[in-house]
Amino acid sequence: MIIQCKNISKKYPGTAQPAVQNLNITINEGEIVSLLGPSGCGKSTTLRIIAGFEVPDEGEIILAGKQVYGKGIWVPPEHRDVGMVFQDYALFPHLNVIKNITFGLKRTRDLNQRAKDLLKLANLDGLESKLPSELSGGQQQRVALIRALMRQPCIVLMDEPFSNLDASLREQLRVEIKSILKQTETTCLFVTHNQEEALTISDRIIVLNQGKIEQIGTPEEIYFHPKSLFVAKFVSQGNILEGICSGNTIKTEYFSLKVNNIHKNNGKKVNVIIRPRGLKPDPNGLIKGKIEDVQFKGESYECIVKLFSPQGATTNFKITVDVQTKIKPGIQQTFSIDENQITII
Ligand SMILES: Nc1ncnc2c1ncn2[C@@H]1O[C@H](COP(=O)(O)OP(=O)(O)OP(=O)(O)O)[C@@H](O)[C@H]1O
């Protein structure tokens, strides 16, 4: 185990709520784990506590088997053996690439070889003598990662590493950074508020809400089996309807669904979460709606559909359909439900 955080809590002076509360986190060697949550949920505080830039009020932190906080011990950041990668790259502007990545290290033959290998792996070979200002944002972020890796830290901590880049570059860099981390067998904890980013890059995701852990799991577990409404809404952008179980049917205000294994909930209220691909245009479908908005996303359309209840109520659903689907704003459309895209909580 590379990181063990036990019952970490931190409240900043003068604030009403703790920034993080009773966090228990373990990260295994070679894992890429993301801390995912909305602004202010405590992601950066958690990362900074692990790095040693913030001191928690209580708990214990063990990094690569060494106690760095708790039981009367506090190890300063420079002795924690962690590498940091920041949103704004934090490269030395007056030093070229090779000097940036070897800064503060003894230039031995082994070190030079390591620098060469890592630059090649990050597709930066040939750029050794360039200054940061002569590089693109994606190249600068890869230099920042290589600089962290040069010291062979037990873990790399990344705080929103992609957020300064535009959307297409961000997607490309995610793939490149993941590949570098995996090829170097680096353990990594990274912070993001972007659910798509967390789903694509992580082996496991820790979802934080108001300083507490909502759920920890693989991207698939978090996406397909959210344990709370918060996770369902935040991670899978699910549409939520209240329903009542009756036999193997759930009745909602807008439609009824046949669902297996819900007999034990007979008569109970549940929440039905329908992910964006759960409502499918179907000429034989029984659910009626009106397309309110259509956004082209390249591989798919993201649409807002207004559903009508028999009693005259309406609600807006966010759905995703393939680009082959004939859909445009203003049309009436019938839909069916894809049971694989539903979670009952
Ligand atoms: N130095 C500080 N002093 C007082 N309160 C702070 C301090 N740093 C953070 N906070 C508060 O602690 C809470 C958690 O902040 P934190 O920055 O960890 O959240 P975050 O999830 O990283 O948010 P963001 O994505 O916006 O950076 C917030 O309510 C924030 O206002």
pLDDT at site 332:
94
Ligand 1 test: best mutation among 9, 23, 44, most atoms within 8 Å of CB?
A: 44
pLDDT at 115 over 70: yes
How do residues 198-210 score in pLDDT, each as one tens digit? Answer: 999 999 999 999 9
Q: Please check whether residues 219 and 272 belong to one and the same domain.
A: no
Q: What is the pLDDT of residues 216-251, one digit of tens each?
A: 999 999 999 999 999 999 998 899 999 999 888 999
Report the distance separating Cα 149 and Cα 184, nearest Å: 9
pLDDT band at 165 (very low <50, low <70, confident <90, very high): confident
Q: Which of 9, 36, 41 to mutate to test the pocket of ligand 1 (most atoms within 8 A of CB)?
A: 41
Whether residues 326 and 219 fall in one domain: no
Task: For residue 208, give the ligand 1 atom closest to its CA.
Answer: 21
Q: Looking at the structure, do residues 203 and 274 belong to the same domain, yes or no?
A: no
Same-domain check for residues 309 and 255 = yes
| CA gap 152, 200 in Å, rounded | 25
Alpha-carbon distance of 321 to 248, in angstroms, equals 28
| pLDDT higher than 90, residue 38 | yes
Q: How confident is the model at residue 266 (pLDDT cuts 50, 70, 90)?
A: confident
Average pLDDT of span 95-103: 95
Structure confidence at residue 87 as a pLDDT band (50, 70, 90): confident
Last residue of a domain, one of 199, 215, 236: 236
Query: Using 50, 70 and 90 to split pLDDT, how confident is the model at 158?
Result: very high
> Is residue 308 helix, strand or coil?
strand
- Residue 194 in any domain: the answer is yes
Q: Ligand 1: which residue has its CA nearest to atom 20?
A: 40
Return the CATH number at 248: 2.40.50.140
- The confidence score (pLDDT) of residue 315 equals 96
Looking at the structure, tell me whether residues 202 and 269 fall in a common domain: no
Q: pLDDT tens-digit profile of 269-309?
A: 999 999 999 999 999 998 999 999 999 998 899 999 999 99
Which residue minimizes the CA distance to atom 14 of ligand 1?
A: 42
Residue span of the structural domain in which 33 resides: 1-81+155-165+184-236
Tell me the CA–centroid distance for residue 40 and ligand 1, in Å: 5
311 and 192 in a common domain: no
Query: What is the pTM (predicted TM-score) of this model?
Result: 0.90
Sheet with 314-322, side-by-side order of all strands: 279-281, 332-337, 287-296, 300-308, 314-322
In a shared domain, residues 196 and 75: yes
Asked whether the beta carbons of 298 and 258 are under 8 A apart, the reply is no
Whether residue 241 is contained in a domain is answered as: yes
280 vs 87, higher pLDDT: 280
Structure confidence at residue 91 as a pLDDT band (50, 70, 90) = very high
Same domain, 219 and 334: no
Among 194, 209, 236, the domain-final residue is 236
pLDDT class for 166, splitting at 50, 70, 90? confident
The reply to whether 306 falls in a domain is yes
Q: Does 139 reside within a domain?
A: no
Average pLDDT of the segment spanning 48-59: 96
The closest of 234, 210, 233, 287 to 256, measured between CA atoms, is 287
Domains identified in the chain, total number: 2
* Rounded CA separation 143/121 (Å): 11
Q: Examine residue 72 and state whether it is found in any structural domain, yes or no.
A: yes
**Cα of 212 to ligand 1 centre, how many Å?**
13
User: Which CATH number does the domain housing residue 204 bear?
Assistant: 3.40.50.300
Q: Please indicate, yes or no, if residue 89 is contained in any of the structural domains.
A: no
Please provide the average confidence, as pLDDT, over all residues in the chain.
Answer: 94
Pocket probe mutation, ligand 1, options 9, 10, 12, 88, max atoms within 8 Å of Cβ: 12
Per-position DSSP letters for 3-60, written without gaps between them: EEEEEEEE--TT-SS-SEEEEEEEE-TT-EEEEE-STTSSHHHHHHHHHTSS--SEEE
Of the residues 45, 48, 49, 57, which should be mutated to test ligand 1's pocket, given the most ligand atoms within 8 Å of the CB? 45
Q: Is the ipTM of this complex over 0.95?
A: yes
Please tell me the predicted confidence (pLDDT) of residue 90.
87
Q: What share of residues in the chain are helix, strand, coil (percent, to 5)?
A: 25, 35, 40
Task: Give the distance (Å) from ligand 1 centre to CA of residue 55.
Answer: 14
Pick the residue whose CA is nearest to atom 29 on ligand 1.
40
DSSP per-residue string spanning 58-95:
EEEEEETTEEEEETTEE--GGGS-EEEE-TT----TTS
- Alpha-carbon distance values, 129 to 1, 34, 101 (Å): 38, 33, 11
Same domain for 52 and 159, yes or no, is yes
For residue 298, is it within any domain? yes
| 229 and 283 part of one domain | no
Residue bearing the CA closest to ligand 1, atom 25: 39
Is residue 90 situated within a structural domain? no
Q: What is the pLDDT of residue 265?
A: 76
**All residues at 6 or more sequence positions from 78 whose CB lies less than 8 Å from its CB, including other chains:** none
Q: Which atom of ligand 1 is nearest to the CA of 17?
A: 29
**Segment 99-104 long-range contacts (CB within 8 Å, at least 24 positions apart):** 100/132, 100/143, 100/147, 101/143, 101/146, 101/147, 101/150, 102/150, 103/147
The reply to whether 281 and 214 lie within a common domain is: no
- Predicted confidence at residue 263, as pLDDT, reads 67
Q: According to the model, what pLDDT value does residue 199 have?
A: 96
pLDDT category at 163 given cuts 50, 70, 90 is confident
Q: How far is the CA of 170 from the centre of ligand 1 (A)?
A: 24
Q: Comparing C-alpha atoms, which of 95, 103, 61, 100 is closest to residue 80?
A: 61
List pocket residues of ligand 1, CB cut-off 6 Å.
12, 15, 19, 37, 39-45, 193
Could you say which of 236, 255, 275 is where a domain stops? 236
Ligand 1 atom index nearest CA of 47: 18
Based on the fold, state whether residues 205 and 328 are members of the same structural domain: no
